[in-house]
């Protein structure tokens, strides 16, 4: 008995703690079977009416009427409730439970009272049996049916059985007292069974609920980007496919705009990832408000967003792209700092540019690639020619990967002449790719490809080690120059790569020269700055390559101490025709002399050009007239000859005499 009381208390506490959904589900169990409720009502009415009619007792007749009405009301409520609110709303569910509870208790009490009156007001054993069996049977059944709400079940049990026991105890027959006692024991047993059933039901429901919650959570995680709350790639693709299936039926188009924020990595690197995340969230909000009511937006990871919108008018996709560009460029306030980003957009329109989601997305991506290579901060619609170019590039990329693995690449060396001494002071390492079918592929074509695919890192590593190993075999006073791709100058492992190349080859650091283009210096990237300073600490020489082709800002000449400026080939080619080219060369020579830097004239092809740059006091010359890029074995023989005191001979017979005349 005490353990039952303890259990009752415990259950009371547990019941208050159960989650809302679980409670609602438990309440739902009360209404699951309106049939059993109906059977209970019919049985109660039938028995009580039969006894009332046979006994002609007005009290029993009144109770029989009350039983019939209560039963009907309860069935009505259950059916009505069941139809209208399947218990999804907590308040509605609590109200229904209360109504059910009142109905259940009243009905149980009426049955108990009917049996009590039958026992005390009549002597007919058959009536007694009919009423007793009905009420006790009902009490037993109801404990099982309503165990999900134990307070209701136990209340019904007590209200039905207590008057029966009382009626039996009030009789003069000892055997009836025994039956009254047994009824009490039966009630205690049923309470225990109800509580156990409740615990089991509760456990099962809580587990189901937890599972439902987890499933919903995983489904959400699988479909949405947790940071911005936008749909992810998988969800977007599904949505796109569904939308594509419907556009055929209407005269509508579907535009996909693939947006990539320009130089977002730099925001992350310079302002930190939390700021970067806020920028992404702000962009996500802007994009959501743009497409609101017109389409949807998803985040494809990193700084890439894809918008989907419907339209019928010609040029609606381009208008949308312009709108997105205008929204993105508005400076955003992040922690009081104004941050401005720009974006590049690739646009593809269905059904014109593809009929399935994969094709449309692939085409938008290709258009994005073009938007980026056209200088970013712009949008680019997809054109069929892009696909051919893309396929060709992919073929070339695959071939380049194979070439790297099979070592089909080779490093050639082009001499750089010191115009004051007439000797070769260093050689520039230039990559060559002999493709078995395509023949010689120009580095101007495959280096950008290597940069965009990440292959530049292994390639540069290889070039560095080849160049250092080659130069280590050359005379001591000849250095080697290696071109450094801008993409590589953001990789902090670069200095390890260089140190390891120097260490394995045994080349002194002062003999290795790195050629950097202006674009790297203009970007003001923290990583590049650190790297350039590190190179200078190691003792490497630094030169600015292709000077004059970029912005030619002079501020970085002050910021870093460069050893060389290489005047771009285009100025040398124009030297005889263009007064401006000559003026620029003169100005640069003066600047280099003031800053104590060497100045190299690139692309010397003729005696006239050599004459001009010597006269202009360039300190060094590089070009086909001095020497073409050549394989390592050849350059080594020629440098060894120079080391033995032989004069360097150019590609052309006229080279040496011309140089001698110029030096005289
Ligand atoms: P660059 O660094 O400016 O290299 C000089 C380019 O001018 C070379 O072209 C060279 O062959 C060419 N050249 C030399 N003398 C003359 C001349 O008298 N007339 C003419 N018309 N051209 C001359 P190349 O070898 O085709 O390389 C093109 C560019 O590819 C290089 O320009 C460099 O930016 C890049 N590159 C080459 N090798 C590598 C490498 O190993 N790594 C990286 N990152 N870039 C490389
Ligand atoms: Mg170069
Ligand atoms: Mg150059």
Is ligand 1 within 6 A of the CB of residue 440?
no
Do 168 and 200 fall within a single domain?
A: yes
CA of 91 to the centre of ligand 1 (A): 78
- The pLDDT tens digits for 291-331 are 988 899 999 989 999 999 998 888 899 999 999 999 999 99
Do 73 and 103 fall within a single domain?
A: yes
The ligand minimizing its distance to the Cα of 603 is: 1
Is ligand 1 within 6 A of the CB of residue 465?
no
Question: DSSP state, 487?
Answer: G
Check pLDDT > 90 for residue 199. Answer: no
399 part of a folded domain: no
How far, rounded to the nearest angstrom, does the alpha carbon of residue 467 sit from its chain's CA centroid? 41
Is ligand 1 within 6 A of the CB of residue 486?
no
| Percent of the chain residues past pLDDT 90, beyond the cut | 58
For helices 174-223 and 125-145, give the axis angle rounded to 10 degrees. Answer: 20
Scan for tokens 């990789």, then name that residue. Answer: 491
Cα(192)–Cα(197) distance, integer angstroms: 9
Is ligand 1 within 6 A of the CB of residue 183?
no
- The pLDDT tens digits for 222-267 are 899 989 999 999 999 999 999 998 876 667 899 999 999 998 888 8
Do 241 and 211 fall within a single domain?
A: no
Check pLDDT > 80 for residue 181. Answer: yes
Longest dimension (CA), the chain: 150
CA-proximal residue: ligand 1, atom 42 (nearest) = 483
| Domain of residue 347, CATH code | 3.30.70.270
* pLDDT value for 82: 59
Domain stop point among 342, 364, 382: 382
Do 46 and 185 fall within a single domain?
A: yes
Is ligand 1 within 6 A of the CB of residue 483?
yes
Do 41 and 82 fall within a single domain?
A: yes
Domain ranges, residue 260: 233-382
| Percent of the chain residues past pLDDT 70, beyond the cut | 96
Name the CA radius of gyration of the chain, rounded.
Answer: 45
Total tally of structural domains belonging to the chain? 3
Q: Which H or E run contains 579?
A: helix 579-594
Question: DSSP state, 648?
Answer: P
Cβ-contact 85, 99 below 8 angstroms: no
Is ligand 1 within 6 A of the CB of residue 444?
yes
- 409, 412, 428, 430: residue to mutate for ligand 1 pocket, most atoms within 8 A of CB: 430
pTM over 0.75: no
* pLDDT value for 611: 93
- The pLDDT tens digits for 607-622 are 999 999 999 999 999 9
- 483, 575, 601: residue to mutate for ligand 1 pocket, most atoms within 8 A of CB: 483
- The pLDDT tens digits for 378-413 are 999 999 999 998 888 888 999 999 998 888 899 999
C-alpha atoms less than 13 angstroms from C-alpha of 481 in its C-beta half-sphere: 25
393 part of a folded domain: no
Other residues' Cβ atoms within 10 Å of the Cβ of residue 58: 9
Cα(573)–Cα(584) distance, integer angstroms: 13
Do 196 and 249 fall within a single domain?
A: no
Q: Which residues contact 239 (CB under 8 A, 6 or more apart)?
A: 231, 296, 298, 308
The ligand minimizing its distance to the Cα of 566 is: 3
CA-proximal residue: ligand 1, atom 34 (nearest) = 483
């Amino acid at each position: 008995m005490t353990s039952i009381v303890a259990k009752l208390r415990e259950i009371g506490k547990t019941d208050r703690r159960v989650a809302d959904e679980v409670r609602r589900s438990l309440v739902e169990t009360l209404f699951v079977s309106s049939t059993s409720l109906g059977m209970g009502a019919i049985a109660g009415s039938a028995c009580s009416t039969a006894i009332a009619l046979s006994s002609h007792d007005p009290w029993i007749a009144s109770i029989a009427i009350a039983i019939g009405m209560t039963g009907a009301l309860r069935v009505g409520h259950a059916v009505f409730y069941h139809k209208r609110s399947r218990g999804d709303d907590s308040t509605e569910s609590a109200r229904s439970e209360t109504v059910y509870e009142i109905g259940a208790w009243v009905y149980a009490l009426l049955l108990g009272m009917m049996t009590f009156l039958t026992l005390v007001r009549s002597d007919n054993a058959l009536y007694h049996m009919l009423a007793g069996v009905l009420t006790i049977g009902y009490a037993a059944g109801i404990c099982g049916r309503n165990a999900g709400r134990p307070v209701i079940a136990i209340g019904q049990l007590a209200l039905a059985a207590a008057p029966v026991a009382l009626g039996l105890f009030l009789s003069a027959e000892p055997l009836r007292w025994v039956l009254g006692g047994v009824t009490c024991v039966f009630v205690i047993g049923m309470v225990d069974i109800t509580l156990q059933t409740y615990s089991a039901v509760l456990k099962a429901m809580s587990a189901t609920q937890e599972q439902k919650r987890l499933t919903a959570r995983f489904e959400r995680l699988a479909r949405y980007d947790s940071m911005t709350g936008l749909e992810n790639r998988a969800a977007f693709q599904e949505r796109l496919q569904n939308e594509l299936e419907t556009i055929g039926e209407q005269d509508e188009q579907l535009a996909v705009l693939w947006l990539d924020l320009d130089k977002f990595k730099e925001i992350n690197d310079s302002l930190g990832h939390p700021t970067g995340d806020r920028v992404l969230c702000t962009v996500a909000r802007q994009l959501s408000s743009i497409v609101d009511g017109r389409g949807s937006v998803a985040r494809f990871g990193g700084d890439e967003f894809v918008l989907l919108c419907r339209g019928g008018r010609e040029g609606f996709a381009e208008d949308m792209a312009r709108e997105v560009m205008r929204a993105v460029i508005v400076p955003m306030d992040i922690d009081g700092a104004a941050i401005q980003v720009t974006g590049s957009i690739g646009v593809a329109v269905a059904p014109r540019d593809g009929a399935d989601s994969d094709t449309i997305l692939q085409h938008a991506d290709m258009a994005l690639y073009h938007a980026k290579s056209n200088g970013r901060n712009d949008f680019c619609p997809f054109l069929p020619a892009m696909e051919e170019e893309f396929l060709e590039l992919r073929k070339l990329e695959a071939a380049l990967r194979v070439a790297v693995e099979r070592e089909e690449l080779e490093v050639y060396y082009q001499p750089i002449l010191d115009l004051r001494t007439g000797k070769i002071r260093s050689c520039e390492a230039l990559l060559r790719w002999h493709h078995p079918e395509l023949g010689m592929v120009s580095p101007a074509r495959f280096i950008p490809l290597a940069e965009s695919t990440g292959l530049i890192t292994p390639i540069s590593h290889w070039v560095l080690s080849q160049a250092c190993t080659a130069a280590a075999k050359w005379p001591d006073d000849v250095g080697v120059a290696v071109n450094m791709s801008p993409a590589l100058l953001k990789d902090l492992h670069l200095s390890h790569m260089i140190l390891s190349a120097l260490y394995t080859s045994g080349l002194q650091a002062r003999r290795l020269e790195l050629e950097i283009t202006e674009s790297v210096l203009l970007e003001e990237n923290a990583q590049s700055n650190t790297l350039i300073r590190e190179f200078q600490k190691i003792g490497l020489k630094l030169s600015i390559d292709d000077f004059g082709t970029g912005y030619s800002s002079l501020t970085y000449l002050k910021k870093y101490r460069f050893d060389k400026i290489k005047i771009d080939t285009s100025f040398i080619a124009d030297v005889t025709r263009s007064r401006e080219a000559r003026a620029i060369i003169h100005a640069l020579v003066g600047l280099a002399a003031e800053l104590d830097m060497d100045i190299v004239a690139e692309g010397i092809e003729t005696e006239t050009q050599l004459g001009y740059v010597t006269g202009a006091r360039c300190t060094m010359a590089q070009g086909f007239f001095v020497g073409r890029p050549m394989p390592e074995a050849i350059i080594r023989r020629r440098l060894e000859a120079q080391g033995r005191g032989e004069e360097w001979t150019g590609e052309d017979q006229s080279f040496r005499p011309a140089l001698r005349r110029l030096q005289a």
